Amino acid sequence: MFESAYVWSIILLLGLGTWLVRFSFLGLIGDRELPSYVKRMLNYTAVAVLPGISAPMVINSGSGSVEPLRLIAAAAILIIGVWTQSMMKSIGAGLLIYFGINAFI
């Protein structure tokens, strides 16, 4: 459980910040071009942040111990995702492997 003020300040500020990012060029900056290097960097925001968030949760399962099933399911998601280029297939397979096998152990 979290303190209500902690949660709501994150919701409100993240909402405002996200809207500002979306509004930025449309509303305030207008027609000015982004430097091409910045544009190039922005193409990598997803692969720069999301794998870093994922890694500790795959390697430690909350309790701090390694859970081999997480590693196997994560590998399956990556391999199937690269191979089929389908988010639905890869996450479907990964969740099925993890929660399916977990249900039997």
Partner 1 sequence: MPFSLVLGPFGLLFGVIATEAGLDLAQVMGFSVLVIAGAAQITAISLMNEHAPVLVVLATSLAVNLRMGIYSAALVPHFGGLPLWKRAVAAYWLFDQPFALTSVDVTKNPQRSRDERFGFYLGVGVPLSILWYIVTYLGATLGDLIPGDIGIDFAIPATFLALIAPLLRSLPHLAAALTSVVGTLAFSSLPFNSGLLVAAFLALFVGAELEKRLPKKSPQAAKDV
Minimum distance from residue 66 beta carbon to partner 1 (Å): 13
Among 66, 99, 100, 101, binds partner 1 (CB under 8 A): 99
The distance of closest approach from Cβ of residue 104 to partner 1 in the complex, given in angstroms and rounded to an integer, is 12
Which residues from 36-65 bind partner 1, rule CB under 8 A?
37, 39-59, 61-62
Q: Per CB under 8 A, does 105 bind partner 1?
A: no
8 Å CB contact between 80 and 89: yes
Residues sharing a CB contact under 8 Å with residue 61, sequence separation 6 or more, in sequence order? 67, 70
Using CB under 8 A as the binding rule, whether residue 100 contacts partner 1 is answered as no
Taking a C-beta distance cutoff of 8 angstroms, is the pair 77, 90 a contact? Answer: yes
**The only residue of 25, 66, 100, 101 in contact with partner 1, by rule CB under 8 A:** 25
Q: Does 66 bind partner 1 (CB under 8 A)?
A: no
Alpha helices, H only, 1-105: 4-23, 36-42, 45-59, 68-84, 87-104
